[in-house]
């Protein structure tokens, strides 16, 4: 537990640093560009706090022995947290803050074939949902509670994979490789289906060491709690689709 406490302190430090660096970046960005919307910082801050709460604080400690709490925090870490942080447009803010030469280097990195590969919605969904299958349907879940390093790496993957998947489906922040609405919608529907399948598998057979009743509650929370964030993704994707279609219609009318 001493090692897990060190992990909590590390996560808390990273979260506080993010909450301080974001407004600092806003300050420098506003000197060169149009004023950055303050509301984005509040959304970003809520996302950071929600994601950090999965690894630090009383609920994080309780999650080691309560599977339902664990699943609730995983929904925050891998789904809701990334969605809110993405709405803060951190990558756009970074590009605005950096010097031109530094921004070009970052842009070059974002255009690499590797970035294009992992940002493909199919690949991102495999990393996201596939990773969850490995955690809950192999011995990883039990093993990660015996090693703080493995625990940290798995939770880091859950957050990054969730963020990458969200970013690949809805284009809120800077995206260097874009895909059609139909393609993203199809991948989203498939990913939601596999998420449902996994929750049912956990309900039928909880991970080793988890009491059946606790496993069933956690699986139900994963099934129905995930619906809330999934609905938000669907609405945002459809809204983006509608706005793009409306702009195309207006342009067509103007040309005619």
The pLDDT score that the predictor gives to residue 111 is 87
Tell me: pLDDT of 249 over 80.
no
- 227 pLDDT more than 80: yes
pLDDT score of 24 more than 80: yes
pLDDT at position 15: 96
Computed over every residue of the chain, the mean pLDDT equals 90
* Residue 25, pLDDT score: 93
Residue of 156, 164, 182, 85 lying closest to 124 (CA atoms)? 164
Q: Where are the beta strands (DSSP E) in the chain?
A: none
Whole-prediction pTM: 0.91
High-pLDDT (> 90) share of the chain, %:
65
pLDDT-derived band at 70, boundaries 50, 70, 90: very high
The answer, yes or no, to whether residue 174 has pLDDT greater than 90, is no
Q: What interhelical angle do 90-97 and 2-32 show, nearest 10?
A: 60
pLDDT (average), residues 63-82: 93
54, pLDDT greater than 70? yes
In this prediction, residue 256 has a pLDDT band, given cuts at 50, 70 and 90, of low
Alpha-carbon distance of 191 to 90, in angstroms, equals 25
pLDDT of residue 152: 92
Strand, coil or helix: 154 = helix
d(CA 128, CA 32) in angstroms, rounded, equals 37
Supply the pLDDT for residue 253.
59
Helix axes 212-255, 67-75, angle to 10 degrees: 10
Does residue 4 have a pLDDT over 90?
no
Report the 10 Å Cβ neighbour count for 61.
Answer: 15
Contacts of 30 (CB under 8 A, 6+ apart): 36
| Backbone torsion region of residue 83, taken as left when φ is above 0, otherwise alpha when ψ lies between -120 and 50, otherwise beta | alpha
Calpha distance 127→32 (Å, rounded): 37
Asked if residue 222 lies in contact with residue 75, where contact means CB atoms within 8 angstroms, the answer is yes
Quick one: average pLDDT of 165-182? 90
């Amino acid at each position: 537990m001493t090692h897990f406490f060190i992990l909590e302190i590390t996560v808390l430090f990273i979260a506080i640093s993010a909450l301080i660096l974001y407004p600092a970046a806003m300050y420098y960005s506003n000197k060169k560009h149009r004023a950055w919307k303050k509301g984005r910082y509040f959304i970003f801050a809520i996302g950071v706090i929600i994601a950090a709460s999965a690894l630090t604080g009383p609920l994080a400690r309780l999650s080691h022995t309560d599977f339902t709490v664990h699943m609730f925090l995983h929904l925050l870490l891998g789904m809701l947290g990334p969605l809110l942080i993405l709405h803060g447009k951190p990558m756009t803010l970074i590009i605005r803050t950096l010097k031109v030469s530094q921004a070009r280097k970052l842009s070059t990195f974002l255009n690499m074939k590797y970035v294009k590969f992992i940002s493909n919605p199919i690949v991102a969904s495999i990393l996201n949902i596939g990773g969850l299958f490995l955690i809950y349907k192999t011995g990883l879940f039990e093993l990660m509670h015996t090693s703080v390093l493995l625990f940290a790496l798995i939770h880091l993957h859950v957050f990054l994979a969730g963020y990458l998947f969200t970013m690949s489906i809805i284009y809120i922040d800077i995206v260097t490789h874009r895909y059609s609405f139909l393609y993203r919608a199809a991948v989203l529907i498939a990913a939601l289906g596999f998420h449902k399948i996994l929750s049912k598998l956990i309900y039928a057979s909880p991970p080793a060491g988890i009491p059946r009743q606790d496993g069933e509650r956690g699986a139900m929370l994963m099934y129905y709690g995930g619906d809330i964030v999934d609905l938000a993704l669907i609405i945002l994707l459809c809204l983006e689709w509608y706005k793009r279609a409306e702009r195309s219609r207006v342009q067509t009318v103007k040309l005619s």
